[in-house]
């Protein structure tokens, strides 16, 4: 009897988190004016006028705890940036550039005598690996980028105009 309740409980939690995390697709006309990533929750949320449009689960850099401080540390930055340009022909499915490093990041790296790094993107899966789908989130795997599935990237690509603010929280 206990095992049955355990299984039902686990299935309930999985179902509940799927409902919270993967709402219906976005309407084509939905445009975000802010993106918030919460690293500890592995979530990316699109907002419009303070209201949630949609929330996604993400994979982060291989060393996700703490802010990016130098090139090669495999950390996802923390702070306020802009989604400033797109690359439809990236080696990852549809990449949107994050304006890291900002002036603070460059100053901090200079004081430490290191390069702050760069080329941080919000993107889909590597070319040829779209079949991984949701399973890519089982482990943080990027070099500091934020990754979603290719289908999710299609939605984000349409919903997030260039210049949109992205806040990345610990």
pTM: 0.84
* H-helix or E-strand spanning residue 19: helix 2-21
Q: What is the mean pLDDT of residues 26-45?
A: 92
pLDDT band at residue 111 under the 50/70/90 scheme: very high
| Residue 64 to residue 67: CA distance in whole angstroms | 8
Domains of the chain: 25-169 (2.40.440.10)
pLDDT band at residue 44 under the 50/70/90 scheme: very high
The model's pLDDT over 57-69, given as tens digits with 9 standing for 90+, comes to 999 999 989 999 9
Helix (H, G, I), strand (E, B) or coil at 77: coil
Q: What percentage of the chain exceeds 90 in pLDDT?
A: 82
Q: Say yes or no to pLDDT of 6 above 60.
A: no
| Residue 17 to residue 69: CA distance in whole angstroms | 32
Strand positions, DSSP E, the chain: 34-38, 43-48, 51-57, 79-87, 95-98, 120-123, 146-147, 164-169
Q: Say yes or no to pLDDT of 133 above 70.
A: yes
Q: Say yes or no to pLDDT of 9 above 80.
A: no
Q: What angle do CA 123, 35, 77 make, to 5 degrees?
A: 65
Look at residue 61 in the predicted model and tell me its pLDDT: 95
Helix (H, G, I), strand (E, B) or coil at 39: helix
| Cα dihedral 122→92→22→138 (10° resolution) | -100
| Cα dihedral 108→123→142→75 (10° resolution) | 20
Look at residue 28 in the predicted model and tell me its pLDDT: 73
Look at residue 18 in the predicted model and tell me its pLDDT: 46
């Amino acid at each position: 009897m206990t095992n049955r309740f355990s299984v039902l409980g686990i299935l309930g939690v999985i179902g509940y988190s799927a409902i919270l995390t993967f709402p219906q697709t976005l309407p084509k006309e939905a445009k975000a004016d802010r993106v918030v990533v919460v690293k500890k929750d592995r979530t990316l949320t699109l907002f419009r006028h303070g209201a949630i449009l949609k929330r996604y689960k993400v994979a982060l850099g291989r060393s996700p705890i703490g802010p990016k401080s130098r090139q090669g540390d495999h950390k996802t930055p923390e702070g306020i940036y802009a989604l400033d340009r797109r690359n439809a022909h990236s080696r990852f499915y549809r990449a949107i550039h994050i304006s890291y490093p900002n002036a603070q990041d460059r100053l901090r790296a200079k004081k430490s005598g290191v390069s702050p790094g760069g080329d941080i993107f919000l993107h889909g899966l590597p070319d040829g690996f779209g079949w991984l789908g949701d399973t890519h989130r089982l482990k943080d795997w990027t070099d500091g980028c934020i990754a979603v599935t290719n289908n999710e990237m299609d939605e984000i690509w349409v919903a997030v105009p260039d210049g949109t603010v992205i806040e990345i929280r610990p």
